[in-house]
Amino acid sequence: MQIERLLRIVDILMHKKTCTAKELADIFHVSTKTIYRDMDTLTIAQIPIITTKGKNGGISILEDYKIDKSLVTQEEQNSLIMGLQALKDLNYVDIDITLTKLKNVFNKSYDSLIEIDFAYWDSHGNLQQIFKDIKKSLLNGQKLKISYCDISNNKSERIILPLKLLFKQKEWYLSAFCELKNDYRIFNILRINNVSIINESFVKTLYKAPKTKLPFTVNKGKSEIKLLIDKKMKDRVYQEFEKESITVNEDGDYCIKYKAVLNDWFYSYILSYGTNIKILEPESLKEAIRNKVNLLMEHYN
């Protein structure tokens, strides 16, 4: 968010006195060109930016300058504070200090309207630690070693270069460059079992994940599914299926139509509904579930 970066640049210059464009670029993980554009923006906003050349030169701000809160609209103030409150839940360094400073500048108190918790209600703290390690590696440009289990239950150890956190279709993902595959990959955070930060840095600007929706929207290998789910499973139905795929029958039961990949994970998912679900289509899915049930019966005989 540019306005957050601009305000933080001003705050840094007010305390560190002088910084080079490269130092600021490294802090915010942007190019020096972006920093120079930010300087132009601040100058247009009548903030007294000073640039000096030479051995001890750099970018500074007029001594004793104070931020004029009128430069930021009420809507921008609210958006900025809410955004920083969300970052606070991600355990970003110095966010509390930045929040306090901005609240004082804007002369307002803000109750936290956003709380982000990555763990399930009954989960242990491992997921929170995984997010902390991912966040730290993202901020510092450090490689990660992860233990990953894909949707087909294949387990692997990978060295990855983390690039971006994504929230898509109710789940968190990590966009990264995978050294094992020598290509960009998107990892489901819930499928990462262990994380360790490697003491090896990389230049983040050299790795730009392609802007594509392919991993989330591709229908290759998916089959048309039609399910009938008992009305007493209402909570699960509305949590796990898109509203467009749900039809409520006259008796209150739910008819679900959507596409899915037929694999062991999906068969286990269907079985998790027990007798509260009935497969209407396709026949191949019915047969696969029958086989799974028969194997279970043989196992306990």
Domain range summary for the chain, segments of one domain joined by +: 2-106, 126-216, 222-299
- For the record, the structure tokens of 70 come out as 């009128």
Helix (H, G, I), strand (E, B) or coil at 230: coil
Report the alpha-carbon distance of residue 169 to residue 165 in Å, rounded: 13
Given a contact cutoff of 8 angstroms between Cβ atoms, the answer to whether 192 and 146 are in contact is yes
* 126-216: in CATH 2.30.30: yes
Q: For residue 30, what pLDDT is reported?
A: 87
* 222-299: in CATH 3.90.105: no
The whole-number mean pLDDT for each consecutive block of 10 residues of the chain, a chain of 301 residues, reads: 74 78 88 88 80 82 61 62 59 58 57 52 64 84 90 86 80 88 88 90 78 49 90 89 91 93 86 94 94 91 80
Looking at the domain covering 2-106, what would its CATH class be? mainly alpha
Helix (H), strand (E) at residue 288:
helix 283-299
Q: For residue 214, what pLDDT is reported?
A: 43
Report the alpha-carbon distance of residue 198 to residue 176 in Å, rounded: 15
Kindly give, in sequence order, each residue whose CB lies less than 8 Å from that of residue 142, ignoring residues fewer than 6 positions away: 136, 197, 198, 199, 200, 201, 202
Report the alpha-carbon distance of residue 175 to residue 165 in Å, rounded: 6
Model-level pTM? 0.47
Report the alpha-carbon distance of residue 255 to residue 210 in Å, rounded: 37
Residue 29 backbone phi and psi in degrees, to 5: 55, 45
Bridge partners (DSSP) of residue 222 are: 261
Given a contact cutoff of 8 angstroms between Cβ atoms, the answer to whether 207 and 177 are in contact is yes
Residue 242 backbone phi and psi in degrees, to 5: -70, 145
Helix (H, G, I), strand (E, B) or coil at 192: strand
Helix (H, G, I), strand (E, B) or coil at 53: coil
- For the record, the structure tokens of 29 come out as 């993980």
